[in-house]
Structure 1
C-alpha cells in the first residue's frame, strides 16, 4: 500500500491579525517536519477571501489541511470544498453552515465585548462608493483579543491590526465543507472576541473533534502555540 504524503498545513489568520500571528505554531509544526504555509488573508469579503484561500490550496501538490482562526474559520468552511483539502481545523473560530452568515451565527448567542469596541473607517472601492472596514479600538484590544499575551507583544499586535471589511459579516457561506471533510476545533474558553458558546455550537454542529483550553484568549495561537499545533498534528496524523 502506498504511503500517503504528509499533508501541507495552510494557516488562515482572521480579522485584526496577519500571518505573523501563527509564528509559534509554524515553529512547532516545522519542528515535527510538517510542511506549512501561512496565507495572507485579504479580509475583504467572505466569498472573495474564500476563493483566494481555495486557489492557494488547489495549487499545492498533494493533500492540504486548512486551519482557520476566527473569521478564517468561515473561509475554510467554504474553501475546504477544494478537492485536495482533506481536513479542517478551527481555532477559536466561526464554523458556518451553508447559507449562514457570520452575523446570523453570532446572533444566536449574547454578543461578545468585541462588538461594542469596533472602530470604523472607510476604504476606496473601484467604481463604487467607499466601503466600511473595522478594527478593534486600541485601548480595548488587550482585554478583548489577547488577555493572556504579554503586554509588550499585545501592543505590537494592536498597532499592526489588519481591518476587516464590515460587509463580510452579512455574506452567506456558499458551502459547508465540514459536511464532507473531517474537522477538529479548539475552543478558547476565555475568548472575549467571539463568544465561546458560538465556537462550541459551531464545532458540535460540524461533528468536530473538540479541544477546549481554559483561560485561553482569542489570540490562542500566540499564547498557546504548542496546544494549537498539537491539534493540527492530530488532524495531519488522522488524514495521512
Structure 2
C-alpha cells in the first residue's frame, strides 16, 4: 500500500512539473500595436502597415487622432491604451509623435515608442518650433486655412499641392485620394508646448524619408540622436507619407521594437 502511495505521489509530481514546463515554454503574447496618425492624414493611412503586421501575427489598432490639441489628443489615445490588456508598442506619424510622447506617460503597458516621420519633442517644444529648427520644410507655402466657429484656424494642405508636398513617392491617383480624405489640424495644436518627454524613459526607434518636405530630415536626425534611438532607419527618396509608400519597412521596425527584451 505504501509503495502504491509513493508511485501515485511520484506520478503527480511528474505531471505537475510537466505542466509547469509546458506553461513556461508557452510564448508570451505579442504586444498590441497602436498607430496614431498625424496632421493631414487619417487612420486608414496605416492600412498597409496593419496588413504587414497582421501577416506576422500582430494585432494593430489605428487610433482616431482628433488633431485638436496635444494634451486633448493624448488623453484620447491614453484612454484607448488603458482599454488594452497586455503590452503596447505606441507608434506615431508626424504630429502623432507629440501625441504618443504625451499619451505614454502614466501608462505602464507601453513598452516602446516608434516615431514615423514624426516629431519627438522635449518638454516645452512644439511641432511648430521643431519644424523650424533646421531649414527644409516647404509646408507653410502649401497650406490653406479655415476659420473655426469658436475662434482659431484649421489647416489643410491645398489639394493641388498635396502630391508634391506630402506624398511625392506615392502614385498621383492615390495622392489625390489622400488629399481628398485628409483631416485638418488645429493651428493651435502645432504651436502647443509638449509635456513630459516619455522617450527619456522608454526605448524609442525612428524611421523617416530623406525627401520629407513637411519635417526637414535634419530635424528628425537631430531628434533621433537626442533620444538615443535604439534604431534609426532613413529611407532614401521617401516622402512624408511613409506609412503609405513604405509600410513594410515601418512594420519591420515596429516588430523589432515589439520583440526586444
Higher relative contact order (CA 8 A, sep 6+): 1
Cα deviation for residue 3 of structure 1 reads 4.7
Aligned ranges 1:129-148 → 2 under 5 Å? 129-148=150-169
Cα deviation for residue 116 of structure 1 reads 1.5
Cα distance in 2 between the residues matched to 1:80 and 1:198: 22
Aligned to 1:233: 255
Aligned to 2:138: 113
Aligned to 1:166: 187
Instruction: Indicate conservation of the 8 Å contact 1:185/1:203, yes or no.
Output: yes
Q: Which runs of 4+ in 1 moved over 3 A?
A: 1-4
Aligned to 1:155: 176
Aligned to 1:21: 45
Give the counterpart of 1:61 among 75, 85, 104: 85
Cα deviation for residue 131 of structure 1 reads 2.3
- Secondary structure of 1:76's counterpart equals helix
Cα deviation for residue 219 of structure 1 reads 0.5
Contiguous gaps of at least 5 residues in structure 2: 1-23
Cα distance in 2 between the residues matched to 1:116 and 1:45: 23
Cα deviation for residue 197 of structure 1 reads 1.0
Paired residues, what number? 235
Aligned to 2:97: 73
RMSD (Å), alpha carbons: 1.2
Instruction: Indicate conservation of the 8 Å contact 2:117/2:208, yes or no.
Output: yes
Cα deviation for residue 104 of structure 1 reads 1.9
Aligned to 2:238: 216
Cα deviation for residue 123 of structure 1 reads 2.3
Instruction: Indicate conservation of the 8 Å contact 1:42/1:49, yes or no.
Output: yes
Instruction: Indicate conservation of the 8 Å contact 1:58/1:83, yes or no.
Output: no
Cα deviation for residue 111 of structure 1 reads 4.8
Aligned to 1:46: 70
Cα deviation for residue 54 of structure 1 reads 1.1
Instruction: Indicate conservation of the 8 Å contact 1:113/1:193, yes or no.
Output: yes
Give the counterpart of 2:216 among 159, 183, 195: 195
- Secondary structure of 2:169's counterpart equals coil
Aligned to 2:21: none
Cα deviation for residue 187 of structure 1 reads 1.9
Contiguous gaps of at least 5 residues in structure 1: none
Aligned to 1:186: 207
Cα deviation for residue 101 of structure 1 reads 1.4
- Secondary structure of 2:49's counterpart equals helix
Cα distance in 1 between the residues matched to 2:220 and 2:237: 15
Cα distance in 2 between the residues matched to 1:71 and 1:196: 15
**What TM-score, normalized by structure 1, do the two folds share?**
0.95
Cα deviation for residue 5 of structure 1 reads 2.3
Instruction: Indicate conservation of the 8 Å contact 1:184/1:231, yes or no.
Output: yes
